[in-house]
């Protein structure tokens, strides 16, 4: 009998892996998202799907009597289905383990240096949009379906709704080569968003467990005491995980990779000596992390502490008080792919087709609408309050709609932990919405970033691809006129401010401070420069009627953008009419074509010398400005 059970276990793990893997491959071909395919692949090998198939056969005389399908009936009548279901249910520990490791990895984003770079604005946007989304979903679910969901159920659904899945967004961003302020703000928000969501979700899940355990009449003070106690226990477990990893792999700076020996032999520990490893990316480190985190979250579950918070705090302690390179092992693609595959496959196994009906899909539609509204309003208002660029205000909310990974993990967790409550109902409510957010979010994200690209990246392409003289090209000397200057300034800000002042001297603009601020904001969205030493800051102004270009030639080149490996010595400040966008692109193409010529800099020097010799008294020309 034991061999029969082992045979079934081996068969099911094989079906799970192949089902999820093949489902992901097909989904990639159909461009509907690999995660969706893995979930569907898991569903097709799961017991709930085959139970549905069996029920269909029972109601269909022809199919039910077909010889080739007789094995399904035999599978049920001889008790095999019960064993099949029992084995798959025993695999649910994968969910807890995977979620614990993911929560631990979030600790890397809580490194003090990273938190400093996040900035106040991104933090405020994240907190505001998270709370707005939570309130919209929780209150809406309770008001609309008060007879079906209690307040704790509504709070759990609301906390899950906070989570965002940024993978799709960043994949499309990389595809369009979008950098700058939008990408930085989005990256910071989604990381803080997931951390905030994990904490809120863990607290409400712990309270829900207590109520199911018989503690129904908690007073406000009793509830606060319970939450404080659970958080305290979570911290203690986190410290235990931290100390285990810290003493297993102590930080060592000098390593001989061939001999696997440290510069200081006394700095070794027994475990690190046995594994011949340091906190650098390796399978050994990954296995040790998984093992220690697994023991930690098992202990947290045993003492009824929120294990997700324990994992996040442990990651925070490792990142700040040991060595952040631990987290690099969690990014080993070939290894982590297996964990992802098993996890999303198990989500599919948990899908019960029979539980989806008109009523549950109504709950799904409400969740979808409430979360969409909360994310759009929360992010738009947060960006507006922090005075982001109007283009970011319009773009950011749409990029926060996708939802998959973290939320998918948590609905399985809820279904497993709250079996005696509304766990299954919450699972069935949110899962279809995740598919919609994954598919619809991918489409909306691509269209949104395509528009952004036309605004912030199209200019760079117009400049760099101007290999031929553009049709109806502008004349470079007409664009520049006598607006060319020689500088000895050493910062981007000083150069832009000086060029803006010269624009005011020539009565092109009136408010130096306002235009200078707009130029800097536009540079943050995405700068245009190249390795030949040319930079093209540009802005469109509503009151201009034609193109104006001011050129600054530097005595010594400077780094225009910290992320670039080249320096810049020639700057063209382009001012164009806002109502004539074609002139904006045409000016970039004209300058791009001009800069590709071999005598570009000679022409600029000639124009500069001519201007210096003319000595126009109306326009002061400092040949060397300090």
Report the pLDDT value the prediction gives residue 625, as an integer from 0 to 100.
40
- Helix, strand or coil for residue 363? helix
What's the number of domains the chain is made of?
A: 2
- Pairwise CA distance, residues 369 & 365, whole Å: 6
Tokens 């296995």 identify what position?
Answer: 287
Report the pLDDT value the prediction gives residue 131, as an integer from 0 to 100.
92
Report the pLDDT value the prediction gives residue 334, as an integer from 0 to 100.
66
Report the pLDDT value the prediction gives residue 525, as an integer from 0 to 100.
60
The token duo for 357 is 């009906």
The token duo for 262 is 């440290």
Determine, yes or no, domain membership for 561. Answer: yes
Residues 6+ apart with CB under 8 A from 180: 456, 524, 525, 526, 527
Report the pLDDT value the prediction gives residue 155, as an integer from 0 to 100.
92
Residues 6+ apart with CB under 8 A from 23: 37, 38, 39, 40, 41, 42, 44, 348
467 and 418, same structural domain? no
Query: Could you give the residue ranges of the DSSP H alpha helices within 177-282?
Result: 181-212, 220-248, 270-275
Decide: 146 and 210 in contact? Cβ < 8 Å: no
Among the candidates 404, 431, 456, a domain finishes at 456
Determine, yes or no, domain membership for 180. Answer: yes
253 and 115, same structural domain? yes
What's the whole-model pTM score? 0.56
The token duo for 471 is 């049709």
Residue 44: burial class (beta carbons within 10 Å; 0-12, 13-18, 19+): middle
137 and 215, same structural domain? yes
Q: Which of 438, 415, 626, 437 is nearest to 32 (CA)?
A: 438
Host H or E run for residue 52: helix 47-59
299 and 183, same structural domain? yes
Determine, yes or no, domain membership for 625. Answer: no
Among the candidates 456, 482, 501, a domain finishes at 456
Q: What confidence tens digit (pLDDT) does each residue in 308-353 have? A: 778 888 888 888 888 777 777 776 666 677 877 887 788 778 777 7
Q: What confidence tens digit (pLDDT) does each residue in 345-382 have? A: 887 787 777 666 777 789 999 999 999 999 999 999 99
- Pairwise CA distance, residues 217 & 220, whole Å: 10
CATH of the domain at 557: 3.40.930.10
Helices 333-350 and 34-45: angle between axes, nearest 10 degrees: 50
Report the pLDDT value the prediction gives residue 476, as an integer from 0 to 100.
74
Q: Which of 258, 122, 225 is nearest to 183 (CA)?
A: 122
551 and 451, same structural domain? no
Tokens 């918070």 identify what position?
Answer: 309
pLDDT averaged over consecutive 10-residue blocks of the chain (626 residues)? Answer: 76 89 86 76 85 72 56 61 79 77 75 68 87 94 90 91 72 62 71 78 80 61 73 88 81 42 48 50 80 90 79 86 76 71 79 72 91 93 83 83 76 80 84 77 73 59 55 69 83 89 89 86 71 83 86 86 79 84 74 74 69 42 37
559 and 413, same structural domain? no
- Helix, strand or coil for residue 181? helix
Neighbours of 294 (CB within 10 A): 16
Report the pLDDT value the prediction gives residue 68, as an integer from 0 to 100.
55
Determine, yes or no, domain membership for 626. Answer: no
- Helix, strand or coil for residue 623? coil
Q: How does the average pLDDT of the chain come out, rounded?
A: 76
Host H or E run for residue 27: helix 2-30
CATH of the domain at 218: 1.20.1530
HEC secondary structure over 87-141: HHHHCCHHHHHHHHHHHHHHHHHHCHHHHHHHHHHHHHHHHHHHHHHHHHHHHHH
211 and 148, same structural domain? yes
Query: Could you give the residue ranges of the DSSP H alpha helices within 510-549?
Result: 512-525
Report the pLDDT value the prediction gives residue 263, as an integer from 0 to 100.
45
- Helix, strand or coil for residue 570? strand
Determine, yes or no, domain membership for 1. Answer: no
Determine, yes or no, domain membership for 211. Answer: yes
Q: What sign results for the dihedral spanned by CA atoms 378, 379, 380, 385?
A: positive
Residues 6+ apart with CB under 8 A from 571: 495, 496, 499, 534, 535, 536, 537, 551, 552, 554, 560
Residue 442: give the domain boundaries.
93-456
Residues 6+ apart with CB under 8 A from 333: none
- Pairwise CA distance, residues 456 & 178, whole Å: 8
Report the pLDDT value the prediction gives residue 262, as an integer from 0 to 100.
44
386 and 364, same structural domain? yes
Q: Identify any residues that bridge with 571 across adjacent strands, giving them in sequence order.
A: 535, 552
Determine, yes or no, domain membership for 275. Answer: yes
DSSP classification of residue 352 = -
- Pairwise CA distance, residues 292 & 287, whole Å: 9
434 and 365, same structural domain? yes
The pair phi, psi for residue 284, each rounded to 5°, is -60, -45
446 and 470, same structural domain? no
Q: What confidence tens digit (pLDDT) does each residue in 428-479 have? A: 888 888 877 866 776 777 677 777 765 554 555 555 555 555 555 567 777 7
259 and 122, same structural domain? yes
252 and 239, same structural domain? yes
- Helix, strand or coil for residue 65? coil
Q: Which of 149, 236, 163 is nearest to 201 (CA)?
A: 163
Report the pLDDT value the prediction gives residue 158, as an integer from 0 to 100.
93
Strands 568-577 and 484-487: unpaired
Determine, yes or no, domain membership for 79. Answer: no
Decide: 410 and 163 in contact? Cβ < 8 Å: yes
Q: Identify any residues that bridge with 535 across adjacent strands, giving them in sequence order.
A: 529, 571
Report the pLDDT value the prediction gives residue 463, as an integer from 0 to 100.
59
Among the candidates 415, 435, 456, a domain finishes at 456
DSSP classification of residue 163 = -
Helices 151-162 and 112-144: angle between axes, nearest 10 degrees: 140
């Amino acid at each position: 009998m034991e061999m029969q059970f082992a045979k079934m276990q081996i068969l099911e793990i094989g079906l799970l892996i192949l089902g999820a893997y093949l489902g992901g491959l097909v989904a990639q071909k159909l461009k509907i998202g690999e995660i969706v395919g893995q979930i569907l692949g898991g569903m097709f090998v799961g017991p709930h799907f085959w139970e549905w198939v069996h029920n269909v056969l029972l109601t269909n005389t022809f199919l039910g009597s077909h010889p080739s399908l007789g094995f399904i009936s035999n599978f049920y009548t001889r008790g095999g289905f019960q064993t099949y279901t029992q084995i798959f249910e025993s695999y649910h520990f994968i969910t807890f383990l995977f979620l614990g490791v993911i929560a631990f990895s979030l600790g890397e984003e809580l490194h003090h240096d990273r938190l400093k770079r996040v900035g106040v604005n991104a933090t405020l946007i994240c907190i505001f949009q998270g709370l707005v989304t939570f309130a919209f979903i929780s209150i809406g679910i309770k008001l609309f379906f008060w007879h079906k969901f209690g307040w704790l159920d509504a709070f759990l659904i609301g906390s899950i709704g906070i989570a965002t899945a940024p993978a799709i967004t960043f994949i499309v961003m990389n595809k369009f080569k979008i950098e700058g302020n939008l990408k930085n703000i989005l990256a910071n928000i989604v990381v803080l968003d997931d951390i905030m969501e994990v904490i809120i979700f863990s607290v409400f899940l712990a309270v829900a467990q207590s109520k199911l355990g018989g503690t129904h009449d908690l007073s406000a003070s009793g509830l606060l005491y319970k939450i404080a106690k659970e958080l305290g226990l979570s911290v203690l477990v986190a410290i235990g995980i931290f100390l285990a990893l810290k003493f297993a792999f102590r930080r060592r700076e000098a390593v001989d990779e061939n001999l696997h020996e440290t510069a200081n032999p006394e700095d070794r520990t027994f475990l690190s000596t046995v594994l011949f490893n340091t906190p650098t990316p390796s399978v050994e480190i990954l296995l040790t992390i998984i093992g220690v985190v697994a023991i930690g979250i098992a202990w947290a579950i045993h003492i009824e502490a929120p294990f997700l918070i324990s994992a996040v705090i442990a990651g925070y302690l490792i990142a700040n008080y040991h060595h952040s390179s631990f987290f690099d092992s969690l990014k080993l693609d070939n290894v982590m792919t297996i964990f992802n595959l098993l996890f999303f496959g198990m989500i599919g196994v948990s899908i019960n087709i029979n539980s989806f009906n008109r009523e549950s899909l109504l709950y799904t539609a409400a969740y979808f609408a409430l979360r969409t509204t909360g994310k759009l309003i929360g992010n738009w208002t947060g960006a507006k309050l922090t005075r982001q660029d109007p283009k970011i205000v319009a773009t950011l909310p749409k990029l926060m709609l996708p939802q998959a990974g973290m939320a998918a993990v948590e609905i399985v967790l809820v279904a497993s932990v709250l079996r005696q409550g509304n766990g299954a109902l919450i699972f069935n409510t949110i899962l279809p919405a995740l598919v919609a957010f994954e598919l619809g979010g991918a489409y909306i994200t691509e269209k949104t970033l395509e528009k952004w690209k036309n605004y912030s990246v199209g200019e760079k392409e117009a400049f760099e691809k101007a290999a031929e003289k553009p049709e109806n090209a502008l004349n470079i000397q007409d664009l520049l006129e006598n607006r060319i200057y020689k500088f000895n300034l050493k910062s981007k800000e000083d150069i832009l401010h000086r060029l803006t002042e010269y624009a005011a001297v020539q009565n092109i603009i009136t408010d130096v401070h306002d235009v200078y601020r707009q130029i800097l904001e536009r540079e943050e969205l995405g700068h245009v420069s190249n390795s030949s030493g040319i930079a093209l800051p540009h802005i469109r102004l509503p009151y201009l009627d034609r193109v104006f270009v001011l050129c600054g030639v530097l005595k010594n080149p400077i780094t225009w953008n910290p992320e670039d490996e080249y320096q810049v010595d020639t700057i063209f400040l382009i001012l164009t009419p806002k109502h004539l966008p074609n002139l904006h692109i045409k000016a970039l193409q004209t300058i791009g074509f001009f800069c590709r010529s071999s005598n570009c800099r000679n022409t600029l020097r000639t124009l500069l010398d001519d201007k210096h010799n003319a000595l126009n008294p109306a326009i002061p020309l400092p040949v060397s400005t300090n």
